[in-house]
Amino acid sequence: MKPLNAAQTIAIAQQFGTPVWTYDAATIRARIAQLKMFDTIRFAQKANSNIHILKLMREQGVKVDSVSLGEIERAIAAGFATGADADDIVFTADLLDRATLARVVELDIQVNCGSPQMLEQLGEAHPGHRVWLRVNPGFGHGHSQKTNTGGEQSKHGIWHEQIPEALALIEKYNLDLVGLHMHIGSGVDYSHLQEVCAAMVAQVKQSGRDIRAISAGGGLSIPYRLGGEAIDTAHYFNLWDAARNEIAAHLGHAVHLEIEPGRFLVAESGKLIAEVRAKKDVGNNHFVLVDAGFSDLMRPAMYGSYHEISLLRADGSEAGGETRPTVLAGPLCESGDVFTQEEGGVVTPRDLAAAEIGDFVVLHDTGAYGASMSSNYNTRPLIAEVLLDGEAIQQIRRRQTIAELLALEL
Ligand code: LLP
């Protein structure tokens, strides 16, 4: 079983009600420490954009990547600085909607441009603005095709063969090129890393331009399966450091190295706690139904993602030695509302402790792309989030009410 403080988990479920997210601050700090050798750690806040998590990041010297106007406003609410001297926030996208364009210009927030139109629109609005170029190097990789952000299938970044045109636009609008950025996907391994480092070096040399920084993007995976291998961050850094040094030697000055992880910093800190409310045997399948669904945790339904599952008795007693093949599912009116499934929607029963009504189920490693991907499907309010820091328990988001949901329409 993955590490779990059973007594605390039950107490939180009882105090705040289920379903509920919890995050452990110490785990987040430990992951930040593992990446300290990078000049800048820029948290991809799409993984978990709660303002209190962002504050924790800021207190640890981490900066932030925002991908929407909402994420920019969250970063500001968490205390990240804006203005011509600040580089706390980088806005990364493949397009600039009008409201975001106005705000990044107003606040002088660096923009990582993933399309030529972003350069044109920004250049028209504010010549001299600080920009990064997001390069699609022609290949990518992800834990799922849906999280692969490089190659011809991906809409992301400026195609590597079109970098000369992008540089011409930078010239035309006198934009200030900070650096080049490559993020080839979420869930990369070391072999892809070597390829992407080589592509970065080649791009900088071909561009013939001076830059101050490079960004390695994110993509670092975590061991979702019990006994899975954790990433060797020193090795990861060494590969990028070598690329950075080659670029620095070519340019004749030091080059700043950024990394932009989401999942790595927060996934393992998070748990989703739900309550068992029904059980049924359907043909050969034994279903256990809990009060959380894919409107809360979307990853299994969306990608067939695997999360370890633990079962706890509400009275704290041991949840039986016996296990049985179980399909764990939620309350939504869709057959895909199943936590134990593979990509393509194949329901895969798992050997789980025999569940009883009123037991608590814990879905592990849900601190990244959990709450941030939740929806109101089936008119279910967003659930509460709780931050654990040693003995301290802080509710960092209260549960949404149904009245709040209806208010937008009434
Ligand atoms: N930088 C950029 C430009 C990105 O698009 C992303 C993620 C990251 C950094 C952070 O990637 P990470 O370190 O977390 O792998 N919802 C999916 C993951 C989607 C990732 C989207 N972009 C999931 O639940 O696995």
Is 279 in contact with 289 (CB distance < 8 Å)?
yes
pLDDT of residue 276: 98
Report residues whose beta carbon is within 6 angstroms of any ligand 1 atom: 44, 47, 65, 92, 147, 149, 183, 186, 217-220, 260-264, 299, 368-369
Tokens, residue 139: 């290949």
Atom of ligand 1 nearest to the CA of 218: 13
| Residue having the nearest C-alpha atom to atom 8 of ligand 1 | 218
Domain-embedded: residue 5: no
Cα Rg for the chain, rounded, in angstroms?
A: 22
Residue 107 is part of a domain; what is its CATH number? Answer: 3.20.20.10
For residues 38 and 344, give the distance between their C-alpha atoms in angstroms, rounded to a whole number: 37
pLDDT of 1 above 90: no
Total domains in the chain come to 2
Residues 378, 235 share a domain: no
Residues 223, 88 share a domain: yes
For residues 314 and 277, give the distance between their C-alpha atoms in angstroms, rounded to a whole number: 13
Which residue of 66, 110, 263, 298 sits with most ligand 1 atoms within 8 Å of its CB, as the best mutation to test the pocket?
A: 263
For residues 182 and 199, give the distance between their C-alpha atoms in angstroms, rounded to a whole number: 9
Q: Which of 237, 260, 283 is the last residue of a domain?
A: 260
Residues 122, 170 share a domain: yes
The annotation places the binding site for substrate at 263, 299, 303, 334, 369
DSSP class of 128 = T
Q: Which of 260, 282, 307 is the last residue of a domain?
A: 260
Residue 366 is part of a domain; what is its CATH number? Answer: 2.40.37.10
For residues 47 and 267, give the distance between their C-alpha atoms in angstroms, rounded to a whole number: 8
Residues 169, 100 share a domain: yes
End-to-end CA distance of the chain: 47
Which residue of 35, 46, 155 sits with most ligand 1 atoms within 8 Å of its CB, as the best mutation to test the pocket?
A: 46
Q: Which domain holds residue 291?
A: 268-407
Residues 164, 296 share a domain: no
pLDDT of residue 150: 86
Residues 221, 108 share a domain: yes
Bridge partners, residue 273, by sequence? 20, 362
403 Cβ contact list (under 8 Å, min separation 6):
none
Query: At which residue do the structure tokens 């549960």 appear?
Result: 399
Atom of ligand 1 nearest to the CA of 260: 9
Atom of ligand 1 nearest to the CA of 112: 3
Domain-embedded: residue 20: no
Q: Distance, CA 304 to ligand 1 centroid (Å)?
A: 16
Residues 162, 52 share a domain: yes
Domain-embedded: residue 10: no
Which residue of 35, 63, 186 sits with most ligand 1 atoms within 8 Å of its CB, as the best mutation to test the pocket?
A: 186
Q: Distance, CA 357 to ligand 1 centroid (Å)?
A: 36
Domain-embedded: residue 8: no
For residues 406 and 403, give the distance between their C-alpha atoms in angstroms, rounded to a whole number: 5
The annotation places the binding site for pyridoxal 5'-phosphate at 219, 260-263, 369
Residues 282, 251 share a domain: no
pLDDT in tens, 214-254: 999 999 999 999 999 999 999 999 999 999 999 999 999 99
Question: What is the value of ipTM here, to two decimals?
Answer: 0.99
Tokens, residue 368: 């990244």
Domain-embedded: residue 149: yes
Domain-embedded: residue 18: no
CA angle (42, 171, 94) in 5-degree steps: 45
* pTM summary value: 0.97
pLDDT of 403 above 80: yes
pLDDT in tens, 275-303: 999 999 999 999 999 999 999 999 999 99
Residues 288, 203 share a domain: no
For residues 157 and 62, give the distance between their C-alpha atoms in angstroms, rounded to a whole number: 24
Closest CA to 216 of 246, 237, 247, 232: 237
Residues 82, 212 share a domain: yes
Q: Distance, CA 154 to ligand 1 centroid (Å)?
A: 13
Round the average pLDDT of the chain to a whole number and report it: 96
For residues 186 and 147, give the distance between their C-alpha atoms in angstroms, rounded to a whole number: 5
Closest CA to 63 of 84, 44, 50: 44
